[in-house]
Amino acid sequence: MLEKIKKNRFLFEELVKRDFNKKYKRTILGIFWSVLSPLMMLLIMKIVFTNFFGRSIEHYTIYLFCGNLIFSFFSESTTQGMQALVANASIFTKVNVPKYIFVLSRNVQTLINFAITLVLLVVFCLIDSVFPTWKWIFLIYPVCLLVLFNIGVGMILSALHVFFKDMEYLWKIFTQLLMYLSAIFYQITSYSETVQYLFLANPVYLFIRYFRKIILDGVIPTPEFHMLMAFDTVFVLLIGFWMYKRYNHEFLYRL
């Protein structure tokens, strides 16, 4: 895989540049929307949910920020990844290139936005007297896994999108539902132990919880928690690569 990316390095770099520039084309603020967008969403959620949940949660702004940061990265990456094949059909139907390179380029573009917002999270932590510790180095683990998880989901969605155009609308509805099931603005401690375990079946919640454990609680999650996140990531990656290998030639006829 890495060898093929190196072979098509020029195309990969141009795709990343194109996707990044295309997102902010004809906008006045340009890349600053990467900062303003999550800030506006954070402000709205804080105003709406503080009276309902925020009074019982310490550092509620950071609590919200962690949840919104992870979910926004997941939602944007997978939505962009879903459109990767359809949007680039004019390229790979004429030139023989690895089709997963288009999903990867979309994820690099969203990763840049995520990195900018991550810096903003650190600033907010300092303002709210949540200071970094040596345990923050462990945040590399969920970030790396989340990138791979997004790529896997993006590959699955992009393959399905070739055959079923309704996927774009179905995924939008699903991500809306998933947002409410990811405990972004509330705690799950008020639920029964059985329901709390059910939340662990949501991979996005696992990433959010990992961030909160490190940043707010100063606690490194258990080895079992690490293994569960790794299992989810490997699982979707395997399905994604299998679908691309299985339907590689059919993509050409469907687009």
Segment 132-138 shows an average pLDDT of 95
Segment 167-172 shows an average pLDDT of 91
Looking at residue 244, its pLDDT comes to: 86
Long-range contacts of 117-125 (CB under 8 A, 24+ apart): 117/34, 117/35, 117/38, 117/69, 117/72, 117/73, 118/69, 120/35, 120/38, 120/39, 121/62, 121/65, 121/66, 121/69, 124/61, 124/62, 124/65, 125/62, 125/215
Give the pLDDT band (50/70/90) at residue 247: confident
* pLDDT value at 27 more than 60: no
Segment 82-108 shows an average pLDDT of 78
Decide which of 14 and 242 is more confident.
Answer: 242
Mention every residue, 6+ apart, whose C-beta is less than 8 A from residue 116. Answer: 31, 34, 35
Cα distances (Å, whole numbers) of residue 56 to 41, 49, 53, 59, 60: 21, 11, 6, 10, 8
Looking at residue 179, its pLDDT comes to: 92
Decide which of 165 and 224 is more confident.
Answer: 224
Taking only the tens place, the pLDDT of each residue in 201-218 is 999 999 999 999 999 999
Decide which of 8 and 87 is more confident.
Answer: 87
**How is the chain split into domains, by residue range?**
2-254
**How many other C-beta atoms can be found within 10 angstroms of the C-beta atom of residue 201?**
11
Looking at residue 48, its pLDDT comes to: 66
* Length in residues, the chain: 255
Taking alpha carbons only, the member of 18, 27, 20, 225 closest to residue 141 is: 225
Note whether 111 and 188 are within 8 A (CB).
no
Give the pLDDT band (50/70/90) at residue 11: low
- The whole-angstrom separation of Cα 89 and Cα 157 is 15
Lowest mean pLDDT among 28-42, 115-129, 232-246: 28-42
Looking at residue 34, its pLDDT comes to: 61
Average per-residue pLDDT in the chain? 84
**How many other C-beta atoms can be found within 10 angstroms of the C-beta atom of residue 196?**
14
Q: Token digits for 133?
A: 């510790």
- The whole-angstrom separation of Cα 81 and Cα 172 is 13
Mention every residue, 6+ apart, whose C-beta is less than 8 A from residue 225. Answer: 206, 210
* pLDDT value at 192 more than 80: yes
Q: What are phi and psi of 135, to 5 degrees?
A: -70, -20
Which amino acid belongs to residue 42?
Answer: L
Looking at residue 43, its pLDDT comes to: 76
Lowest mean pLDDT among 79-88, 119-128, 164-173: 79-88
Segment 106-134 shows an average pLDDT of 89
Segment 107-126 shows an average pLDDT of 88
Looking at residue 174, its pLDDT comes to: 95
Decide which of 57 and 188 is more confident.
Answer: 188
